[in-house]
Structure 1
């Protein structure tokens, strides 16, 4: 928490003073911009560790601020959190589609603000190696999407493989000889315990890499990978991958960032299972899956089987169904033939951090 610099972009001075005071009490360094234009200038001149930005501002609104900063290499990877009125549900969807990391509804409790800020800063710090902290160069983040690395751009020989729904791509214990990148479709990775119970370790979408951990460790797969729908993968041989990694420093750094981000995400899920209620964990997983599967298409519907959702939550299907029924009664979700529809993501986020 110490020494992190936060840029607050807020045109309402009383609100800005209140937020600034809360953050300063928590020993954050806070800079305040009174409008979107000055906020962009301040961020570009001296990039902060995190940005809190109001949406409704004259001249340059929050969406425009995010658009400008996300296209500047010096500021593109700074965690960006929107501040929005509770009634403006459309703001959340539009903001997340533009690339915002999170949002906080007004009015909010000081503890809610600090929890969101702390979580986003921890995730940012985990994606930085010690020698990169404090530099002005672009930060390489910890997921395949954020790394923005495509095998087609690396001048290596590619093959393409197709899989049907429920086909296994690889199994735990097998030794890898290729690297996969998802071109089309969705994949789940999972482990099976001694009692035959499945524990899902991740869901992966187009742009994500599969199998790089085992290749980097020169070991075997520690999990299974299964196609959740019709799937198309780009494939590169183990030899070409290792030559590419050890022969190009930037490429190596990007894959190590992927590994760092993966460890951070798994650690977060273990902590949630240990300390969060089932209700909190279900809300967290629904938010994760709706982001992962919806992307920028604008419709937040989860089409993943209930059994798989229960496995990633770490509970039984029966307990999951009871929780989903409660969420439906509270009008947080709708249970449809095509899947689970998110009706009120704002309240789900609040449940996640309760």
Structure 2
């Protein structure tokens, strides 16, 4: 029998139709008739994936997701909402709670199977990686016993540094990498250019962040450009040393796998925000993110990034960004000066971000 799927659906006919589609595709299906029963079954059945309706008696789908996401036994199970409500607010609320995907009713059987298959493949890749890093094969253990484990700190004496001026390109899309970059001082933006010459920012990077590791791990070329936003210092680690670290030490491999996973999650979240959030919400979200220091918890005094770059990260025009910033200033949420943008009311911006 195939993967185990828990379906939480109070509509009997709908539940039967979905079950038949999944069982025909060789999935093992269990059905819960309401949210309360679904939570109990999830903890006992421990499925590989959960499909859950939103509007249900006892517990609605949001409550089910909230409960399961706070239980270590079920927190990592892919969770997909089934809903007849196509309102953007419902999409946002579900994604903010941690749902992995949405399927709007009515849907075709093939569409359902594609989403289920994609989420199961993603989970399988994660589980296989964790298994490989926790249970090394015998040859790997023998190889590791020949010398000490390798970590980033082991290469501190080998690190070279390179300086860049503001607006200098660190690397370009299509180039083949031969080093790993780590930001020592300053900030970097990564971006792509479409066929019309429009810039799409894929991320802002701070001291401590790594650049170019995706291309190195994939043995491919850079898929984006990297530019210095200010005077910049980078640590340089050779490709050979980097790969030695990754393949020679499981903690280092896990570290970069986590970076890859975080990068994917951030891009998925950004796409969802662009699709379903208002400009006002997206601007609040970007300001909150940019106002954090390297620790991820200390508030930066001033955001000094150019308005054009902020607009590209938000996914709007500079003119629209300026109007929204002016509104935020009038509401005393931020202050605008020659130095840059300063966040004054973080809690209020957080509320705007999610409502």
Where on the TM-score scale, by shorter chain, does this alignment land: which range?
A: 0.5 to 0.7
Aligned partner of 2:341 in structure 1 is: 340
TM normalised by structure 1 equals 0.61
Indicate how the Cα distance of structure 1 residues 209 and 299 shifts in structure 2: closer, same or farther if over 3 A, else same.
closer
Partner of 1:321: 322
Shift of 1:150: 7.6
Secondary structure, counterpart of 1:301 in structure 2: coil
Instruction: Report deviation, 1:153.
Output: 3.9
Give the alignment of 1:192-211 within 5 angstroms: 192-211=193-212
Q: CA deviation at 1:158?
A: 1.4
C-alpha distance in structure 1 between counterparts of 2:96 and 2:301, whole Å? 22
Match of 1:130 among 127, 131, 150: 127
Report 1:81-92 matches (<5 A): none
Q: 1:224 to 1:182 in 2, by over 3 A?
A: same
Structure 1 residue 164, shift from structure 2 partner = 1.2
What is the CA-CA distance between 1:29 and the residue it aligns to?
A: 4.4
Query: CA shift at 1:334, angstroms?
Result: 1.0
Any stretches of 5+ residues in structure 1 without a counterpart?
5-20, 31-42, 51-110, 138-148
Q: What does 1:51-200 correspond to in 2, within 5 Å?
A: 117-118=97-98, 129-130=126-127, 151-154=152-155, 157-200=158-201
CA shift, 1:288, in A, is 0.9
RMSD: 3.9
CA distance in structure 2 between the partners assigned to 1:173 and 1:230 by the alignment? 25
Deviates more, 1:329-338 or 1:173-182: 329-338
Distance in 1 separating the partners of 2:350 and 2:62 = 24
Partner of residue 30, structure 2 = none
Contact 1:179 1:210 in 2 (8 A): yes
CA distance in structure 2 between the partners assigned to 1:154 and 1:182 by the alignment:
15
In the TM superposition, what is the alpha-carbon distance from 1:47 to its structure 2 partner?
Answer: 7.2
**Where does 1:258-297 land on structure 2 (aligned, <5 Å)?**
258-292=259-293
Secondary structure in 2 matching 1:199: strand
Structure-2 separation of matches of 1:209 and 1:27: 33
SS of 2:305's partner is coil
Specify the structure having the higher radius of gyration (Cα): 2
* 1:308 maps onto 2:316 in alignment: no
CA shift, 1:154, in A, is 4.3
Contact between 1:188 and 1:200, CA under 8 Å: does it hold in 2?
A: yes
* 1:156 Cα deviation from its structure 2 partner: 6.7
**In the TM superposition, what is the alpha-carbon distance from 1:251 to its structure 2 partner?**
1.4
CA contact (8 A) 2:181 2:212 kept: yes
1:215-230 alignment, distance < 5 Å? 215-230=216-231
Which residues of structure 2 form unaligned runs of 5+?
1-37, 44-58, 76-90, 101-121, 135-149
